[in-house]
């Protein structure tokens, strides 16, 4: 049995601490950057704004609901009982899993390959356990569910994306005034997103915030209440602000440009008139 504190193993803690930061850097460079594609690519956010939001919400997510995944990684994939009286071997294996995941994430990022940090650490953990203890050290049922989710998640997310796009196309884009239709639907989309996020946090939340014993009905009530308040706030505050900002941007695009079209005409026109072919020579 290993002593609770052993000075001879301090190097493992120090090295693991450093490698964990390198792995976190790789996750930020690859995993987090994946979510920037839609928001930054559509110019909803700048890269600086996306980084700031990612910093806040990555930390919040790790604190509020990240413990579930941590528990799975800690004792759900491997049978740690097979490492009784071999704690050093378990620590060395975990260190090797961290190291290999960090290296692979950095290499994949260098070659611009979008990969999953979860896939990396799960594969590395199973790999060192197969070497150390063979097949008897792996919870194959849990591993099967994890691997299955890797194939099911893209399908479900694709179907969900198609469904939402069809709704947006039918009730917003096909309307005579899609801008106003989009602004009207904005509170619904925002509140639904907030509802899902709040429920995932409140229902079976972290013990640190005493959320682990909240019943289902109370979690649903809290989530619906927060979503309703958010919807009212968005309708009264954000929708008018967006409407004003968008219209001001459109007016700015229609502002006249100070140049003449040809010396023979000498006519002064707006840039929008040029694009629409309204200029007569």
pLDDT tens sequence across 32-72: 777 788 888 888 889 899 889 888 988 888 888 887 777 77
More confident: 193 or 207: 193
More confident: 249 or 185: 185
More confident: 70 or 78: 78
pTM, two decimal places:
0.73
For residue 167, pLDDT over 80 is answered with: yes
Task: Report the alpha-carbon distance of residue 52 to residue 252 in Å, rounded.
Answer: 28
Instruction: Provide the 3-class DSSP secondary structure of residue 269.
Output: strand
pLDDT reported for residue 183 = 94
- Most confident option among 160-169, 202-211, 264-273: 160-169
* Confidence band for 259, pLDDT divided at 50, 70 and 90: very low
Please give the average per-residue pLDDT across 188-207, as a whole number: 89
Q: What percentage of the chain reaches a pLDDT higher than 90?
A: 45
pLDDT reported for residue 113 = 87
pLDDT reported for residue 276 = 41
Average pLDDT of the chain to the nearest whole number? 84
Q: Lowest-confidence range among 31-40, 104-113, 211-220, 256-265?
A: 256-265
* Confidence band for 4, pLDDT divided at 50, 70 and 90: low
* Confidence band for 2, pLDDT divided at 50, 70 and 90: low
CB 9 within 8 A of CB 88: yes
């Amino acid at each position: 049995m290993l002593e609770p504190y052993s000075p001879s193993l301090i190097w493992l803690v120090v090295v693991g601490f450093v490698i964990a930061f390198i792995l976190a850097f790789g996750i930020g460079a690859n995993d987090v950057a994946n979510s920037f594609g839609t928001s930054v690519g559509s110019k909803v956010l700048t890269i600086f704004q996306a980084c700031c939001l990612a910093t806040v919400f990555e930390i919040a997510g790790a604190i509020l609901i990240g413990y579930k995944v941590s528990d799975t990684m800690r004792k759900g994939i491997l049978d740690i009982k097979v490492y009784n009286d071999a704690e050093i071997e378990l620590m060395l294996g975990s260190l090797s899993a961290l190291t290999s995941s960090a290296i692979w994430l950095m290499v994949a990022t260098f070659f611009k390959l979008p990969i999953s940090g979860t896939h990396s650490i799960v594969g590395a953990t199973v790999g060192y356990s197969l070497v150390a203890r063979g097949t008897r050290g792996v919870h194959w049922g849990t591993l099967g569910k994890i691997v299955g989710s890797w194939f099911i998640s893209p399908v479900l997310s694709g179907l969900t994306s198609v469904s939402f796009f069809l709704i947006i196309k039918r009730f917003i884009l096909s309307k005579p005034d899609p801008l106003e239709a989009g602004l009207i639907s904005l509170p619904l989309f925002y509140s639904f997103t907030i509802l899902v996020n709040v429920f995932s946090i409140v229902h079976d939340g972290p013990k640190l915030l005493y959320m682990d014993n909240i019943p289902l009905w109370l979690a649903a009530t809290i989530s619906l209440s927060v979503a309703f308040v958010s919807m009212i706030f968005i309708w009264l505050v954000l929708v008018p602000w967006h409407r004003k900002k968008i219209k001001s941007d459109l007016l700015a695009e229609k502002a006249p440009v100070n140049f003449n079209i040809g010396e023979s005409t000498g006519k002064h026109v707006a840039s929008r008139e040029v694009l629409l072919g309204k200029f007569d020579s």
